[in-house]
């Protein structure tokens, strides 16, 4: 596909998304929520707006990074996309990449996210019938020539074996981590709350692990987060919080608890819903070396200060990556162009 055509198409899609009648969008959100109660109106609205912003602000710069000159002369391949459903529309980015590179998308939706992405593709119908016709939503993946699949670590291992004979990108579990220095402002910690609690902490960019300086007083972390305390009024989150708290009480674990977020000292990056793991550190250079070793487990790092050898985001920015902040660090567009 001509990069300028692709850019203008997606910019227009963003405008159409922004202009959808609020009542219609409310109905679509309601349908999605019936299928998946984790998809609240606020969460879906946040994800919806993030794509509108991406189409508006990022497309021209993003597409300009690539050489599409030979793309039109290549055979358009059938690219299977097995999508996750942990947060609203999480698989849309991969679909955009496939369409932007002129390939055809065979989309296996997650049962947790079956409403939103098809609705967006319907909006594409009047903008670009060509791209619209390059998307097929399927129940069983077949006749594919390459695959992008997202799943848990166990599922990803199965995917890697099953799709070993075709080009593939297999996305595994990843999480966000945050480095606390001890001199953060109340506002910075409050913004970090978004990185922890947005989408109930279920996204790969959500912070699930804190690195705290030795001697850090936990009250400086908990007090700015009080504004998020209504999260525990969500039934499914409350059930997870109650369960995790009960497990720790039975195990006589040493935990910190503010009645909606449990902090538990653990070396693992990934933590259960309503829980955030933490570790103490003494030396930033040693910590950075450890994070470099664990890059395959980390999607993004939140830090108020720049890190010499690692890219990072400021507090509150985890769920607002640019279009070229690829999952797992794999440049999906270039991979598709090279097929």
159: in domain:
yes
Residue 307 in domain: no
Residue 322 in 3-state DSSP?
Answer: coil
Residue 328 lies in a domain: no
Phi, psi of 209 (to 5 degrees): -145, 135
pLDDT attached to residue 71: 60
pTM of the model: 0.94
Give the number of other Cβ atoms within 10 Å of residue 214's Cβ: 9
DSSP-assigned states of every residue in 2-56:
-HHHHHHHHHHHHHHHHTS-HHHHHHHHHHHHHH-TT--HHHHHHHHHHHHHHHH
C-alpha to C-alpha distance for 107 and 134, rounded to whole angstroms: 10
Q: Let me know: does 303 contact 291? Beta carbons within 8 Å.
A: no
Given this model, what pLDDT does residue 120 score?
98
Name the pLDDT band for 91 (thresholds 50, 70, 90): very high
What is the DSSP code (8-state) at residue 323? T
Q: Which of 72-76, 180-184, 194-198, 271-275 has the lowest mean pLDDT?
A: 72-76
**Shared-domain flag, residues 31 and 144:** yes
pLDDT value for 328: 86
pLDDT, mean of residues 306-316: 95
Domain end position, chosen among 134, 156, 172: 172
Nearest residue to 134 (alpha-carbon basis) of 90, 101, 91, 89: 101
φ, ψ of residue 84 to 5 degrees: the values are -90, 170
Q: Are residues 199 and 158 in the same domain?
A: no
Residue 323 lies in a domain: no
Nearest-angstrom CA–CA distance, 104 and 1: 11
Do 165 and 53 belong together in one domain? yes
List of residues 6+ apart from 71 with CB closer than 8 A: 1, 101, 102, 337
User: Cβ neighbours of residue 282 under 8 Å, at least 6 residues apart?
Assistant: 213, 214
Query: What are the pLDDT digits (tens) for 105-160?
Result: 999 999 999 999 999 999 999 999 999 999 999 999 999 999 999 988 889 889 99
Domain that holds residue 252: 175-302
pLDDT, tens digit, 9 for 90 and up, residues 26-56: 999 999 999 999 999 999 999 999 999 999 9
Q: What is the CATH number of the domain that holds 44?
A: 3.40.605.10
pLDDT of residue 227: 97
How far is Cα 78 from Cα 104, in angstroms, rounded to an integer? 5
Same domain, residue pair 115 and 233: no
Rounded CA separation 132/125 (Å): 5
CA distance readout (Å), 43 to 37, 49, 277: 11, 10, 23
Instruction: Evaluate whether residue 115 is within a structural domain.
Output: yes
User: Do 164 and 187 lie in a common domain?
Assistant: no
Indicate if the pLDDT at residue 297 is higher than 80: yes
Task: Answer for the pair 207, 195: CB distance below 8 angstroms, yes or no.
Answer: yes
CA-to-CA distance for 232 and 224, rounded, in angstroms?
A: 16
**Consecutive H or E run containing 275:** strand 275-281
């Amino acid at each position: 596909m001509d990069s300028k055509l692709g850019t203008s198409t997606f910019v227009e899609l963003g405008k159409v998304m922004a202009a959808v009648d609020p009542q219609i969008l409310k109905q679509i959100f309601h349908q999605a929520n019936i299928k998946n109660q984790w998809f609240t109106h606020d969460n879906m609205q946040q994800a919806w707006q993030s794509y509108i912003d991406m189409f508006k602000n990022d497309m021209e710069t993003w597409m300009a990074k690539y050489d599409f000159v030979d793309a039109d002369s290549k055979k358009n391949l059938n690219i299977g996309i097995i999508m996750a459903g942990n947060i609203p529309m999480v698989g849309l980015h991969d679909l955009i990449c496939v369409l932007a590179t002129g390939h055809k998308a065979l989309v296996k939706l997650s049962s947790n996210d079956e409403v939103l992405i098809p609705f967006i593709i319907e909006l594409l119908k009047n903008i670009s019938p060509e791209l619209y016709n390059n998307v097929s939503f399927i129940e069983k993946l077949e006749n594919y020539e390459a695959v992008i699949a997202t799943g848990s670590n166990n599922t990803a291992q199965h995917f890697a074996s099953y799709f070993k004979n075709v080009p593939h990108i297999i996305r595994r579990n990843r999480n966000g981590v945050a480095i606390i220095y001890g001199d953060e402002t109340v506002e910075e910690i409050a913004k970090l709350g978004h990185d922890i609690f947005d989408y109930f902490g279920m996204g790969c960019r959500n912070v699930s692990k804190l690195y705290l300086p030795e001697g850090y007083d936990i009250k400086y972390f908990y007090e700015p987060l009080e504004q998020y305390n209504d999260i525990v009024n969500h039934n499914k989150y409350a059930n997870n919080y109650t369960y995790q708290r009960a497990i720790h009480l039975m195990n006589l674990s040493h935990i910190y608890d503010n009645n909606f977020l449990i902090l538990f000292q653990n070396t693992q990056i990934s933590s259960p819903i309503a829980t955030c793991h933490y570790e103490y550190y003494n030396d930033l250079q040693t910590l950075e070396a450890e994070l470099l070793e664990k890059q395959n487990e980390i999607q993004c790092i939140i830090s108020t200060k720049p890190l010499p050898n690692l890219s990072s985001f400021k507090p509150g920015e985890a769920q607002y990556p640019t279009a070229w902040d690829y999952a797992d660090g794999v440049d999906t567009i270039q991979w598709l162009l090279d097929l």
